Amino acid sequence: MARLPTLPLITVFLFGLAPRAGAGEVFPPELVAFGPVSATPLFAGGGADAWDRDLRERGWIMRSGGRWHLWYTGSNLDRDPRRFLGHATSTDGLNWIRDPANPLVRDAWVEDVCVVRRGPCFEMFAEGEHDIAERLTSHDGVAWQRRGPLDIRCASGDPIPAGPRGTPAVWIEGGVCHLFYERMDHGVWLATSRDLVTFTNVRDEPVLACGPEPYDLHAVAFDQIVKHCGRYYAYYHSSPIADRSQWQTCLATSRDLVHWEKYTRNPILPVDPEHPKRSSATLVCDGERHRLYTTHPDVRVRLSTAPLTLRGVPHR
């Protein structure tokens, strides 16, 4: 049985001194101070011959309907397509059971998923083949209908230049869907839509660019947006080296989803020396504390060292 790691008193110093709480804290400790990673995976690949032999990139963890849900990308290079959508459930977010319906989408490449609730439906935004962002919908989180690639336009209304547009991260508020996407990880762009069919760039330059800080000099991509006390926060993965063989987790904040301020103590999760490609973070509140999950190359968790306060809890 998987267990959360024991948190000694010195844990808060593992990633630098935890910032003090305060009514005006821009980066409150419950969003940036996390303890050690779980010693063993909570969820991993299914074995040498399995369709989900390897886990790939960003999976998505959500509490809904009294259960925890994990949507993930399984990979087996000996199969075609090589990226399948999988699902697992849990009663505690620690012990996971694979869905017997897996793989959920059998005829298409589905990778790097983001899931949001929109009324009674689940909306999934994911990478298809060639890193082209697409949308899928479901009423139960298991049976998914593909809606096709996203139509992303320049601010002028013209189609954006051809090429990858991946790692879609979505925030829906006030009837507007805010789509954050990357292009070869060279920056993060923002496009908005009211119909979830056509998305138009807010501006044609990245809202979050690489560097000049060394920790995200060579690649950036948003993993998740949360809202906390009137501010938006984006957990994002970045690479400090040109060949992108190392990844880490960082944080930025915004008042308007367009102008972003990076956390001065980034990265909040430095490169893991044993697993330098560990990345793709998702923040989930368990009711008492926040948990920060990473889903590549397996699912592990860190527990916030700061308790929740009355200042609010993140909302998806």
Q: What is the pLDDT of residues 118-148, one digit of tens each?
A: 999 999 999 999 999 999 999 999 999 999 9
Q: What count of residues does the chain have?
A: 316
Query: DSSP label at 13?
Result: G
Could you read off the pLDDT of 14-40 as tens digits, one per residue?
Answer: 233 333 333 347 999 999 999 999 999
The listed CATH number (3.40.50.2300, 2.115.10.20, 3.40.140.10, 3.40.50.300) that belongs to domain 49-303: 2.115.10.20
Give the pairing of strands 67-75 and 54-64: antiparallel
Q: Identify whether the C-beta of residue 185 lies closer than 8 Å to the C-beta of residue 239.
A: yes
φ, ψ for residue 15, nearest 5 deg: -115, 30
Q: For residue 13, what pLDDT band results from cuts at 50, 70 and 90?
A: very low
Residue 79's pLDDT is what?
76
- Distance CA(308)–CA(26), nearest Å, equals 15
Could you read off the pLDDT of 40-65 as tens digits, one per residue?
Answer: 999 999 999 999 999 999 999 999 98
Instruction: Write down the mean pLDDT value for the chain.
Output: 90
Q: For residue 81, what pLDDT band results from cuts at 50, 70 and 90?
A: low
Residue 208's pLDDT is what?
98
- Distance CA(193)–CA(205), nearest Å, equals 18
Numbers of helices and strands, H then E, in the chain: 1, 21
| Average pLDDT estimate for 168-196 | 98
Could you read off the pLDDT of 238-273 as tens digits, one per residue?
Answer: 999 999 999 999 999 999 999 999 999 999 999 999
Q: How many CB atoms lie within 10 A of CB 3?
A: 12
Give Cα 288 to chain centroid, integer Å.
21
Q: For residue 97, what pLDDT band results from cuts at 50, 70 and 90?
A: very high
Q: For residue 80, what pLDDT band results from cuts at 50, 70 and 90?
A: confident
